[in-house]
């Protein structure tokens, strides 16, 4: 912080008033005295109104965790004895919309003399709109105070950079297809084994151990023998999300704007996780690169925020070939592995193929945006960079064909409902691949 310092206005009033008064006395011109006396009075009132202590300033945000597209308010808690005017300004930050657009607000403090300690209750609010997931750092904030008659100024003093966590959008998708191989105890998916579900699969003769409440009386009366209802068990599924964060390609413009490959991967993972957690499935997360977050399979609302928080902290970071070769997913049998990758790195595709050969049901979600373009720093590069980018996109063809030969369907991400068809086909087959040892 800083102390109270005389303003330029006080200096001008004092200098011009004194000069005018000296000239009026030396030249005998009362008109000059009439000009100088108000300036001296202004300077005298400004000097006598100097605050005796500095203001106390604290700033806080209404929310520390938000979803992208939501808004919050930044407020100040001020206690300024003897101050008359306050100005607050916030710098611009990427993917953060500030209202008012200038990022500056001001207010007059309590007027009148004598001036008691005054707590500003308006908080000089600045409304902030968060447009991109991640750890958002707001622009630098500064605040300045002015005393009575603009005599002294305090600041501008920096309040630093506030930060908050912006979670990716978790709008649930309309995944209507069942999981291929539910393996849990309780859930919403029909199992391959007989159990106590609500979906009737047939009627059979009553045997010792059957529950009386499941007797089908109409069929029993018609046949003369007791028959019981047979139903499929309902189980939960285990879904492991593997997010490719080894690199980020394309321009990221925030919600409703252009998306990069990592934007598509993170938002798709958030939507898939939200859907499966809502219906009681167990969901896990494995980030390849970008910090390498590992979240085991679990369920519940708290687990949902754990996954979203890990996705928000994801940053693109390369991974060595040796690290990928030693990568083990450690997924239990029956887990559905959803690999979200732009398929520009064949090493990540190798991980998905190995999981398929190990007996897991693997679906590769292609997160390459249709209109993805390279980010260019040199304006002289576009022709050559465009050619290289097109060649890299063509290199994805052999990788996709190799994945399909390994038994991994590749589905381009197109929003809610993307995985319906492929999961329905996998659940209809209900065949397990042999485990390769």
CATH number, domain 56-167: 2.60.40.10
**Tell me, what's the pLDDT at 241?**
93
Of 373, 323, 368, the C-alpha closest to 348 is 323
Instruction: Specify the pLDDT at position 209.
Output: 78
Report the interhelical angle of 382-394 vs 396-405 (nearest 10°).
Answer: 10
Rounded-to-integer distance, Cα 121 and Cα 103, Å: 20
150 DSSP 8-state letter: G
Q: Give the number of other Cβ atoms within 10 Å of residue 39's Cβ.
A: 19
At 408 the pLDDT is 87
Q: pTM of the prediction?
A: 0.75
Span 250-275, pLDDT tens digits:
888 888 888 889 999 999 999 999 98
**102 Cβ contact list (under 8 Å, min separation 6):** none
Kindly give the parts of the chain with pLDDT less than 70: 1, 110-122, 171-201, 232-236, 321-326, 372-385, 388, 427-437
pLDDT in tens, 361-374: 889 999 988 776 66
pLDDT, position 143: 92
The crossing angle, in degrees rounded to 10, of helices 261-278 and 301-312 is: 180
Residue with token string 């106390």: 56
Contacts of 198 (CB under 8 A, 6+ apart): 231, 234
What is the structure's pLDDT at 133? 93
3-state secondary structure 330-369: CCCCCCEEEEEECCCCHHHHHHHHHHHHCCCEEEEEECCC
CATH node for 238-429: 3.40.50
* C-alpha gyration radius of the chain: 34
Up-side HSE of residue 213: CA atoms within 13 Å toward CB? 1
Q: Where exactly are the structural domains of the chain? A: 56-167, 197-233, 238-429
Instruction: Confirm whether 56-167 and 238-429 share one CATH topology.
Output: no
CA gap 338, 171 in Å, rounded? 18
């Amino acid at each position: 912080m800083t102390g109270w310092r005389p303003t330029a206005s006080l200096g001008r009033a004092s200098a011009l008033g004194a000069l005018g008064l000296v000239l009026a006395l030396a030249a005998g011109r009362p008109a000059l005295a009439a000009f100088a006396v108000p300036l001296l009075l202004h300077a005298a009132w400004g000097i006598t109104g100097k605050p005796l202590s500095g203001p106390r300033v604290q700033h806080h945000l209404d929310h520390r965790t938000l979803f992208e597209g939501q808004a919050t308010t930044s407020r100040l808690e001020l206690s300024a004895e003897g101050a008359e005017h306050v100005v607050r300004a916030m710098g611009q930050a990427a993917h953060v919309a500030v209202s008012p657009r200038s990022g500056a607000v001001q207010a007059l403090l309590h007027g009148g003399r004598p001036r008691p300690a005054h707590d500003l209750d308006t908080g000089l609010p600045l409304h902030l709109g968060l447009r991109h997931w991640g750890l958002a750092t707001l622009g630098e904030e500064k605040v300045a105070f002015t005393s009575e008659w603009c005599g002294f100024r305090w600041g501008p003093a920096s309040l630093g950079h506030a930060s908050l966590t912006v979670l990716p959008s978790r709008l649930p998708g309309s995944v209507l297809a069942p999981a291929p191989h539910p393996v849990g105890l309780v859930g919403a998916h029909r199992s391959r084994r007989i159990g106590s579900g609500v979906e009737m699969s047939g009627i059979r003769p009553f045997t010792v151990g059957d529950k009386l409440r499941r007797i089908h009386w109409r069929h029993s009366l018609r046949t003369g023998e007791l028959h019981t209802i047979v139903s499929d068990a309902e189980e939960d599924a285990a879904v492991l999300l593997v997010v490719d964060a080894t690199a980020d390609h394309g321009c990221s413009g925030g919600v409703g704007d252009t998306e990069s490959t990592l934007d598509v991967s993170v938002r798709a993972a958030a939507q898939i996780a939200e859907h499966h957690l809502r219906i009681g499935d167990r969901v896990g997360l494995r980030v390849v690169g970008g910090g390498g977050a590992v979240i085991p399979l679990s369920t519940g609302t708290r687990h949902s925020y754990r996954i979203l928080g890990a996705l928000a902290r994801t940053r693109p970071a390369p991974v060595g070939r040796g690290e990928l070769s030693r990568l083990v997913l450690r997924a239990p049998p029956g887990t559905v592995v959803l690999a979200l990758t732009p398929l520009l790195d064949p090493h990540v595709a190798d991980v998905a193929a190995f999981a398929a050969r190990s007996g897991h049901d693997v679906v590769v979600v292609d997160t390459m945006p249709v209109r993805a373009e390279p980010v260019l720093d040199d304006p002289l590069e576009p022709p050559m960079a465009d050619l290289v980018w097109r060649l890299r996109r063509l290199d994805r063809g052999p990788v996709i064909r190799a994945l399909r030969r390994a038994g991994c369907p590749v589905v381009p991400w197109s929003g809610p409902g993307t995985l319906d068809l492929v999961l329905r086909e996998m659940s209809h087959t209900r065949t397990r691949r042999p485990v390769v040892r």
